[in-house]
Structures are given as structure tokens and as C-alpha cells.
A = this chain, B = another copy of it.
Amino acid sequence: MTFWFQNRLRRAHPTNLLMMSYLAAIAVGTAALMMPGATVKGYIGVIDALFTATSAVCVTGLIVVDTGTYFTPLGQGVILFLIQIGGLGIMTISVALFQVIGKRVVFQQRMAMQEVFSHTPREDIYHLIRSVLYFTFAVETAGAVVLFVHWQPVYPVSEALYKAVFHSVSAFCNAGFSQFSNNLMADQASVMLNMTVCALIILGGIGFPVVYELYRGVVLRESSKVSIQTKSVIAASLGLILTGVLVILISEWNLLSSMGWWKGVLTAIFQSVTCRTAGFNTVDIASLNTATLLFMMFLMLVGASPGSCGGGMKTTTFTVLTAFSWSRLMRYKCVNLFGKTVPEDTVTKSISVLVFSLAAICVAVFLILFIDPDHGGRVQGNRQFLSFLFETVSAFGTVGLSMGITSMLTPAGKLVIVGLMIVGRVGVPAFTYIVAGGEATKGVRYAEENMMIG
């Protein structure tokens, strides 16, 4: 039996392993949250436990019950652990465990990892994993120290420490879970908290490959060549953050100017950074203008950078799609970025990710509304469709921002969101792997025949 299982595991497709790992973590997490000691009341419904566990493992941050008051410190610890596992990626963790206990990594798992670090195939995979772990814990510790200093005057030492660790991990993993009922709105005006959380989000969301390359190039001066991946990630991140700040500032001028100009700018910066894909908030999302929310949905859809804790379509996909559109408009024969040509296959991959993402979001919104024509049963109010669309994009991009309808969803609606969170977290890389992981050699080539388009 054990042999049979090991055999199956060895032959399993990397994407299946990835998917199974996540599902297993969600199942264990659901069970752990249902322990009587995890909740203050000693009880949580299975769908709410499943929702919370999925949201934590997928580092989404959507919540159906208030993390700080519904769960005991133990329950919050379970969530923290799930976030950390989910953020680092179960594959990374499991490879690291193999490494720690001295066993050889099975070949299939090596393959999946090399897919993750495909840009540096010559590097030793163990070395990379170790670097990921060192980097993660170093940044999280630094973040926790600053946050501890920030909260230490307000809370008892142990509580301040727990909050500091929880929020540092949650921010670095781009999870967006908070122990405060109104997320980070109470600290809206704190420059220290805003900047620390922003730094954690950016370091956690920019992707380890970029950090690694910059470290080797700038600190160690080992290499002066910067890959187009790093250039794309930095250009897209900077561009999206700045555009976001501008749009939010103009669109929410009434709200932000009433705060005083530097608090307003701070809030705009924070909300722009957190939108792709951390999901903290220092303002009430439901109170924002529709135009702002629409632009935030765009940011949520683009998401973080590849090889990071964040979700969404990824900044590189966005860069390639932009370069593709430009090349078609200019009738260029290939898609170029920073003086390099992007391979045809990579362009196709990006387009597939776009089509897949849009299809997943549309199907999910349609399902939620179709299952329950009364619009989620209990959700009324004047922007219900927008609330559902926002919720769905947020779940797919593993962002976790919400206009406040999550807990009002029907059980069926919650299950759709659970599915979408998994699709957004595991589906995108799995889909990318399936779509263009190997060479497309199957299928027949027939005689060509043209059609009219558009």
C-alpha cells in the first residue's frame, strides 16, 4: 500500500502534486479551525471554517467571520500558520523539509520547482529554496520588530508581539488578514505603520527571482546583466503603483483632501500598493467611488509578480500583453521588451492566462447570481452587482478586499468563492503549466483556410 502510494506520487504530474498539496492543507486547516479551542464560541460552521482555511492557505484574506474576535489566539495561530504555508508555497516548504531531514528530493518535485525558478535553471534548487526561506524569515522578523515598536505603547507586551508577528507575516505573504475588526483603518495616519506594511507587501509581492537577481547584481556585484523579467517587474510595479496613486487621489479627492494633504497622499499610496494583491485597507472600501473601485479591480486582476506570495495574472503577463498590443498596432513582426524579443510561446501563454482569468471571473459571478436570483439572498443596497463583481475579482486575484458582502453570501455563494480562491491561487500556475509547460506536439495540422474577423 505504502509502496503503491509512493509509486503514484513519484509518477504524479507536478500540477497534480501542487493542487493536491493545497487541497490537503485546506482540509487540515478546516479541521484545525473546527477544534473547540480555536473559536471563542467553541463552534464554527463547516462552510465558514472551509472558507477561512481556504482564504488563509490561498493568502486571499476574504473573511466570513471577524478574525480577531471570532477566533481564539490559538485559532488565529492556525490561520497564521496556514498563511505562512500558503505564502511560501507548499512545494517550497516540502522540498525544504526534504532538505532539512536529509532526504533526496523526488524527481517530480524537482521539476515543479524548476518550473517556478525556470529563469535560472542552472542554479542549485536546494540553494534557492534555502535563500527563499532565509529571505522570508529575515524580512518578516524585521517587519515584526518595527510593528512591535509601533504597537508596544498601546498593547501589553505579549499582545503587541503577537500582533506584530501576525501582521508582519500577513503583510509579507500578501495575505491581508488582520486581527483588528476594521483591518488597519485605526492606523490610517501612522507613517511608520503605513510604510512598514507597504515595504513588506512590496518585498513579498515583487517575487523572489527579482530580489535574488538584484541581490547578486547590486550587492554581490556578481553579474551586471539584468533580465527582462526583472526589468518588466520593476517597470510594471512602479508604473501601476504610481498610476494607482494618481487615480485614487483624483477620484477620491473629496475624501482624501478632508484628511489633510499628507494623510490623503499616504492613504492613496497605501491603497494603491495594497490593491495588488495584499488586500489590507485603511479606508472603508464600500464607501469609495465606483470609478475608484473599477480601477482597483483592474489592479487586483493584474496582481503581483511571478515567484512571489501574491496572486492575480502577474505583472509580467501584463507587460507582455501590453507589448503584444503595441507590436500588433505598430505591425511589428515580433513582441519586443527592453531590447529583447519575447518568445512566441510566452506571448501565447500570457494571452491564455488573460482569457482563462476573465473566463473564470465571469463564470463565477454568473454562477453566484444564477444560483440565487435574489442576489445572494441577503445582500441589498445600491451597488450589489458591483459588490459581487468586486468580491469575485478580489477572490480570483487572492486580494481579499471586499465591499463588505462576504459574510452575507449564501452557502452556495461561499462555495463558489472558495472554488475561485483555489482557482486563482493554484489554477493560474497549473493552467500556465498545462498550456505551455512542454512543447505542443499533439494534434493535426490541416490545410489552412482563412476567415473574416472583427
| Chain B residue contacts of A362, Cβ below 8 A | 294, 298
In the complex, the answer to whether B449 meets A340 with C-beta atoms within 8 Å is yes
Partner of A373, one of B251, B316, B435, B451: B251
From 201 to 246 in chain A, residues with beta carbon under 8 angstroms from any chain B beta carbon are 207, 209, 227-229, 232
Given contacts A228-B449, A443-B334, A452-B209, contact A291 B382 (CB under 8 A): no
A197 at the interface (CB under 8 A from B): no
* Assembled-state Cα–Cα distance A447/B313 (Å): 26
- Whole-angstrom distance between the alpha carbons of A342 and B341 in the complex? 25
- Determine the chain B residues whose CB is within 8 A of the CB of A389 once the complex forms: 385
- A276, CB-defined interface residue at 8 Å: no
A349 beta carbon closer than 8 Å to chain B: yes
A181 at the interface (CB under 8 A from B): no
Q: Which residue of B lies closest to A325 (CB)?
A: B355
In the complex, what residue of chain B is closest to A357 when comparing beta carbons?
Answer: B454
Residues of B close to A349: CB separation below 8 A: 453-454
Contacts of A342 in B (CB 8 A): 448-451
Enumerate A326-342 residues with CB–CB distance to B below 8 Å: 327-334, 336, 339-342
Query: With a CB–CB cut-off of 8 A, which chain B residues contact A370?
Result: 247, 250-251, 291
The reply to whether B229 and A343 contact each other, CB–CB distance below 8 Å, is no
Q: Are A447 and B340 touching (Cβ within 8 A)? A: yes
Answer whether residue A366 sits at the interface, using C-beta atoms and an 8 A cutoff: yes
**Copies of this protein in the complex:** 2
Query: B434 to A329, Cβ gap below 8 A?
Result: yes
B353→A453 contact, CB < 8 A: yes
The dominant DSSP class at the A interface is helix
Contact B446 A340 (CB under 8 A): yes
* A356 cross-chain contacts in B, Cβ below 8 A: 325
Query: With A373-B291, A454-B317 known to touch, is A227 a contact of B441 (CB < 8 Å)?
Result: no
| Closest chain B residue to A429, Cβ basis | B454
Return A370 CB to nearest CB of chain B, in Å: 4
| CB pair B331 A446 closer than 8 Å | no
User: Residues of B contacting A383 with CB < 8 Å?
Assistant: 382-385
Quick check: is A352 within 8 A (CB to CB) of the other chain? yes
Whether A333 pairs with B119 at a CB distance below 8 angstroms is no
A435 touches B369 (CB 8 A): no
Nearest B residue to A451, CB-CB: B229
Q: A385: nearest residue on chain B (CB-CB)?
A: B386
Q: Is the CB of A449 within 8 A of B331?
A: no
A445, CB-defined interface residue at 8 Å: yes
A residues 63-96 touching B (CB-CB < 8 Å): none
In the assembled complex, which residues on chain B have CB atoms less than 8 Å from the CB atom of A324?
355
- Are B251 and A118 in contact, with the CB atoms below 8 A? no
- Chain B residues, CB < 8 A from A16: none
For window 395-423 of A, CB contacts with B under 8 Å fall at none
* In the assembled complex, A162 has its CB within 8 A of some CB on chain B: no
User: Are B289 and A332 neighbours in the complex by a CB distance under 8 Å?
Assistant: no
A144 at the interface (CB under 8 A from B): no
Further pairs besides A227-B451, A317-B454, A351-B351: 10, Cβ < 8 Å: A119-B450, A250-B370, A290-B384, A314-B452, A316-B453, A321-B355, A329-B435, A334-B443, A342-B450, A346-B450
Enumerate 8 A-B pairs (CB-CB under 8 Å) in ascending A order: A251-B373, A290-B384, A325-B359, A331-B434, A331-B442, A332-B443, A343-B448, A385-B385
The 6 A-B pairs at the shortest CB distance, nearest first, are namely A332-B443, A432-B454, A306-B452, A291-B369, A385-B386, A340-B449
